[in-house]
Amino acid sequence: RERGKFVLPFGVIDCLIDSLKSCGVSCRRSLYEADGELAQECVRTNAFGVLSNDSDFLCMGIPFVPLNEMMLDENTFQCVVYSPDQVSECIGIERTCLPMLACMCGNDFIKREDLCSFHESLATISRSNRNWMIIKEVANILRFVNTWNEMGDPSLEDDKRLVRRMF
């Protein structure tokens, strides 16, 4: 386990890839960060989505199937597919705001640890639903900024409200 995260047993990924290939599914792997390449490959091949724990694919317009939410037993296989359109609709933001949401929540480029004071300023958040509450609060900020931008020339009072809301 790595900081409370589930770590797959050694060899499981290899077995999964072999099984998928035996069913005719095209599989690729990378030792390094390859999100951009993988997203382009998904678009080029009209792929269903990406099997990953990296939600950054949503920001690139690619659906993803989280590895850590897959359930497999001897008779069934269940998984969740997150699509950019459904996620943005669910949290009430424009799809174009997903990259900003990812940056403000923490992603591969902006570490969550660097955002601790910002996240703590959002609300008193219990540990059990912390990530979801951060996402909801950041989505509120993004909706506010969108509304603020649509108003055109904001007054100084609007500027103050925006800054107070964000920090």
Give the start-to-end residue ranges of the domains of the chain. Answer: 12-78, 85-166
pTM, rounded to two decimals: 0.63
Please give the residue that has the higher pLDDT: either 155 or 84. Answer: 84
Q: Give the model's confidence band at 18: pLDDT under 50 very low, under 70 low, under 90 confident, else very high.
A: very high
DSSP string, 8-69: PPTTHHHHHHHHHHHTT------SS--HHHHHHHHHHHT-S-EEES-THHHHTT--EEEGGG
Residue 1 has pLDDT above 50, yes or no: no
List, for residues 92-146, the tens digit of each pLDDT value.
888 888 888 888 887 777 777 888 887 777 766 666 677 778 888 888 888 887 7
**Who wins on pLDDT, 13 or 19?**
19
* Amino acid identity, position 43: V
DSSP 92: T
26: closest CA among 52, 56, 50, 61? 50
Q: Is the pLDDT of residue 159 over 60?
A: no
Confidence of residue 73 (pLDDT cuts 50, 70, 90): confident
